[in-house]
Amino acid sequence: MNTTLSLHHLFQNNEIDNLKQLIEDLDKIFDNIPVTSSDLIKTTLLDIETIKQLKNKPNNVHVVFGKSLRTLHCTIIDDNAREHKLCVEKQPSTKKLKVVSVNLPFTSFQEQEYNNIEDLTNEFLLTINNLSSYLYELETIDHNCIVVEPKNPTFKDDFRNLYLDDRTWLHIEVTPDGSASNVHLIGQSNKWQDKLQKGILKWDHDKNIVENILIIFDLNNLIDIKSTKDLSAENTAFLEDDCSENITCSICFCTELPDNPGLPQPLCNNPSCDVNYHKSCLFQWLIACEGGRPPAFGVINGSCPTCLHPITCSENE
- Superfamily (CATH) of domain 247-317: Zinc/RING finger domain, C3HC4 (zinc finger) (3.30.40.10)
Same fold, 58-130 and 145-243: yes
Helices (H), the chain: 3-12, 19-31, 48-55, 117-130, 132-144, 190-199, 209-216, 279-289
Q: Per residue of the chain (317 residues), give pLDDT as tens.
A: 555 656 666 666 555 556 666 667 766 666 654 444 334 434 455 666 777 777 778 888 888 877 777 788 899 999 888 999 999 998 888 888 999 999 999 888 999 999 988 899 999 999 999 999 999 999 999 988 888 888 889 999 999 999 888 778 899 999 999 999 999 888 777 888 888 988 888 899 899 999 999 889 887 654 345 443 444 334 445 544 445 556 788 888 888 887 777 778 888 888 778 788 888 889 888 888 887 777 767 788 888 988 888 888 887 65
In degrees rounded to 5, what are phi and psi of residue 267?
-90, -15
Domain boundaries, the chain: 1-42, 58-130, 145-243, 247-317
- Using DSSP, state whether 245 is helix, strand or coil: helix
- Tell me the CATH number for domain 58-130: 3.10.110
Q: Terminus-to-terminus CA distance in the chain, angstroms?
A: 62
Helices (H), 112-167: 117-130, 132-144
- Report if pTM > 0.75: no
CA proximity to 78, closest of 155, 178, 173: 155
CATH class of 145-243: alpha beta
